[in-house]
A and B are shown apart, each in its own frame.
Chain A
Amino acid sequence: MSWEVVIGLEIHAQLKTNSKLFCHCSAAFGDTPNTNICPVCTAMPGVLPVLNKKVVDSAIKLGLATNCKINSINEFSRKNYFYPDSPKAYQISQFDKPICLAGYLNIMVNNELRRIDITRIHMEEDAGKLVHQGSDNISGATHSLVDLNRCSVPLLEIVSEPVIRSATEARLYMEKMRQIIRYLDIGDGNMEEGSLRCDANVSIRKRGDIKLGTKTEVKNLNSFKSVEKAINLEIDRQIDILEDGGTIIQETRHYNEATASTTSLRSKEEAHDYRYFPDPDLVPIVIDELWIETIRKELPELPEAIQKRFVNDYNLPTDHSVRLTSIKKLAEDFENAYKNRKNENITPLETANVALKYYDYFLSNNLDFSKSNHASFQIGGLTFLVNTSTVSSSTITSILPDIVNTNYDPIEYVKEKGLAQVSDTGELKSIIQDVIKENPGPAEEIKSGKMQTIGFMMGQIMQKTKGKANPGLANKMLKELLGIS
């Protein structure tokens, strides 16, 4: 039987604001429990929520960056549910008038462009944090502790259409969304800290069927790896059930990263009656064209546009430009490094190669590239060294550990450490002449046509220069001095 996978993602992105959505409490992560709380976010009677304008600006930004239509009339609604993480017993969210509608993102899957449609993006408040005690998960807990610091921290919920066809596509879409959120600088997109979360609605159907199968909702996906792994597990579980003649139960399943398995959370059929109604404490938000256009002008250049520009303006291979734009800072550092030295006959490709090598060093050593303040300057310097054959590109790799996270000028560094290749023809000439004098036999062999012996002579030259002879130049001069060029 051939099955088709149908996935829709609900992504929750915490916004990078100073204060919460409806009050002046700090929205900071990781503070002592219940220190960023006030009567508004703890639902004391008689309080009045007032909307944080920066949240609306951020939502418009993300909407424009994901090709959405921005709704001019916005309303907040109360989503009623009873749970200890919500002191009001409702979440203030948007229901029938969300801020963004009908957008899309393009992702590349196996070198093919896939368009992932976005149903809507809406603004809402986060819930408090529950810490379960007496067990490492909720089902075994004896009691729980409620921290309301996170309560009412602003979120954008981004709902995709059920058009995602594999776990890999889900991960790629999620990665793309994070990239855009970071380029816009509206959220930090950190899945491990929970500032970017996602729930996956997964169902399968016989290939060719139009009707959707029964879906399950997989929660607790705290890393990109989890997103892919948990969805694949759920797909396999559903296929097993259906192929054994069983039926899928609509339920919420909790992913456990440690055991790499999903377990059913008790199904609560009645829990989905949220009795939404407009929040009478909050006034409508009317977004006019002027507001939208003001935000549009503030939008930074987005990764897809930069990629195209790098390919067109700098003739970079697509692969290079995709990697350079993976984060905004790298794209900027590359471009600045190139521009600052373009009068020195340095090519964009040389700069790109060095920039990627530089960035890969941070990645493979788990270093924070965002704090690398001298990256652009150092990438430029390193490119100059390679371009002028002062050092080989393998030397670059070996000096990176000493210079990254310092303000060292790579050119100065190479000088100080005496790492420059010997390209001075006068100096090289006298060294080669010495080598010939000391090795008359091999020199005669070469003269009489035994070219393999050049390797031996080159070895001697490298030994004398401690590996710093410019190999191309040395080879050429050796042949000249032996009269065989």
Chain B
Amino acid sequence: MYFHIYAIHSSYVKIFFVMITKETIKHLAVLSRLEFTEKQLDNFSHDLENIFNYAQMLNEVDTTGIIPSSHAMPLQNVFKEDRVIPYHNIEKIMANAPLEESHAFRVPKILAD
């Protein structure tokens, strides 16, 4: 609904052209709690469209019969033991808190008025 995809079929290769609109960028900005100026919206939609269409090159490869992979390495079943090893540098993590209260990260009110 936010991505306009046009497909051009050849014998076995599908080539898509993706159009990223300003609406798409606005939607992503809301989801990420970001605010953009009109100019930024224009720039980002243009840039993202270029990035997407560059990646479309991958569609030129015939992947018939190849199982999609989710990891770069042909690995499976990597586990850790269910054992507690306390981390000893917690204060370093807490130092990232812009505001700290009762050993917790203090954040502004969550729901808008």
Contacts and interface: CB of A to CB of B under 8 A. Distances in A.
A283 B102 contact: no
B79 A75 contact: no
B83 A19 contact: yes
A34 B90 contact: yes
Interface string B64-86: 00000011110111111111111
A443 to B, nearest CB: 77
Given A52-B79, A146-B107, A283-B77, A82 B86 contact: no
Nearest to B96: A42
A56 B77 CA distance: 10
A156 interface: no
B51 interface: no
Nearest to A278: B70
Contacts of B102: 33, 145
Contacts of B4: none
Instruction: State the main secondary structure of chain B at its contact with A.
Output: loop
B106 A143 contact: yes
Nearest to A132: B110
B110 A138 contact: yes
A51 B83 CA distance: 12
A279 B107 contact: no
B36 interface: no
Contact of B72 (A39, A56, A273, A280): A280
Contact of A19 (B84, B101, B109): B84
A142 B109 contact: yes
Given A82-B33, A283-B71, A283-B75, A26 B104 contact: no
Most buried by B among A35, A89, A144: A144
A156 B43 CA distance: 42
Given A17-B82, A279-B70, A283-B75, A139 B111 contact: yes
A87 to B, nearest CB: 9
A53 to B, nearest CB: 4
A286 B77 contact: yes
A437 interface: no
Given A19-B84, A142-B109, A284 B76 contact: yes
Given A19-B82, A25-B87, A34-B94, A266 B111 contact: yes
A39 B85 CA distance: 13
A144 B106 CA distance: 6
B52 interface: no
Nearest to A135: B109
A265 B110 CA distance: 12
Contact of A33 (B31, B75, B87, B104): B104
B109 A39 contact: no
Contacts of B78: 50-51, 283
A42 B101 contact: no
A146 B105 contact: yes
A145 B106 contact: yes
B9 interface: no
A442 interface: no
A280 B77 contact: no
A396 interface: no
A285 B31 contact: no
Contacts of B8: none
B93 interface: yes
A26 B84 contact: yes
Nearest to B67: A73
Contacts of B110: 83-84, 130, 132, 138, 141, 144
B73 A283 contact: yes
B31 A270 contact: yes
A343 interface: no
B103 interface: yes
A217 B10 CA distance: 46
A44 B90 CA distance: 12
Contacts of A133: 101
B103 to A, nearest CB: 5
Contacts of B104: 33-34, 131, 145-147
A320 interface: no
A18 B70 contact: no
11 contacts: A32-B103, A34-B103, A39-B87, A44-B93, A81-B31, A133-B101, A139-B111, A141-B110, A144-B109, A280-B70, A283-B76
Given A278-B71, A285-B77, 17 more contacts: A18-B82, A18-B83, A19-B83, A34-B93, A35-B103, A38-B87, A50-B80, A53-B80, A81-B31, A82-B33, A138-B111, A141-B109, A144-B110, A145-B105, A266-B111, A283-B76, A283-B78
